[in-house]
Amino acid sequence: MIFDMHVHMFPDFLAPKALSGIGETSHVPPVTKATLSDTRTRLKEWGISGAAVLNIATRPEQQTNVNNWAAEVQDDFFYCFGSVHPDAPDAVEELWRIRGLGLFGVKLHPEYQRFFVDDKKAYPVYDALQELGLPVTFHAGWDPVSPHVVHTPPKALAKVARDFPRMTVIAAHMGGMRRSEEAEEYLIGMENVYLDTSMSYLLIDPEQAKRMILHHGSERVLYASDCPWSLPKEQMRFLERLGLPDRMLEDICWNNARRLLGLDKISGQKEPGTMRRII
Total domains present in the chain: 1
pTM over 0.85: yes
Q: 114 falls in which pLDDT band (50, 70, 90)? A: very high
**Could you give the CA distance from residue 143 to residue 251 in angstroms, rounded to a whole number?**
28
Residues 6+ apart with CB under 8 A from 57: 63, 66, 67, 83, 84, 85, 88, 113
Q: 264 falls in which pLDDT band (50, 70, 90)? A: confident
Let me know if residue 214 belongs to a domain: yes
pLDDT computed for residue 268 by the predictor: 43
Q: 27 falls in which pLDDT band (50, 70, 90)? A: confident
pLDDT digits (tens, 9 = 90+) for 51-97: 999 999 999 999 999 999 999 999 999 999 999 999 999 999 999 99
Q: 26 falls in which pLDDT band (50, 70, 90)? A: confident
Task: Report whether pLDDT(205) > 60.
Answer: yes
Let me know if residue 267 belongs to a domain: no
**Could you give the CA distance from residue 274 to residue 250 in angstroms, rounded to a whole number?**
9
Q: What is the mean pLDDT of residues 253-279?
A: 62
Print the domain residue range for 44. 3-261
Buried b (16+ CB within 10 A) or exposed e, 226-237: bbbbbbbbebbe
Let me know if residue 202 belongs to a domain: yes
- Let me know: does 104 contact 77? Beta carbons within 8 Å: no
Please state, for a pLDDT cut of 70, what percent of the chain lies above it.
Answer: 95
Ramachandran area for residue 43 (φ above 0: left; ψ -120 to 50: alpha; else beta)? alpha
Our measurement of the distance from residue 229's CA atom to the centroid of its chain's CA atoms, rounded to an integer in Å, reads 13
Q: 276 falls in which pLDDT band (50, 70, 90)? A: very low
The pairs formed by 241-248 with CB atoms below 8 angstroms and a separation of 24 or more are: 241/206, 242/206, 242/209, 242/210, 242/213, 243/210, 244/210, 244/213, 244/218, 246/273, 246/275, 247/218, 248/213, 248/218
Bridge partner residues of 51 (DSSP): 4, 78
- Let me know: does 273 contact 19? Beta carbons within 8 Å: no
Q: What is the mean pLDDT of residues 130-146?
A: 97
Let me know if residue 175 belongs to a domain: yes
Any idea what the Cα angle at residue 101 is, between residues 96 and 105, rounded to 5°? 70
**Could you give the CA distance from residue 129 to residue 167 in angstroms, rounded to a whole number?**
6
pLDDT digits (tens, 9 = 90+) for 144-199: 999 999 999 999 999 999 999 999 999 999 999 999 999 999 999 999 999 999 99
Let me know if residue 208 belongs to a domain: yes
Task: Report whether pLDDT(275) > 70.
Answer: no
Task: Report whether pLDDT(241) > 90.
Answer: yes
Q: Can you give the CATH number for the domain in which 205 is found? A: 3.20.20.140
The rounded mean pLDDT for the chain is: 94
- As separate numbers, helices (DSSP H) first and strands (DSSP E) second, the chain gives 13, 8
Ramachandran area for residue 90 (φ above 0: left; ψ -120 to 50: alpha; else beta)? alpha
Let me know if residue 150 belongs to a domain: yes
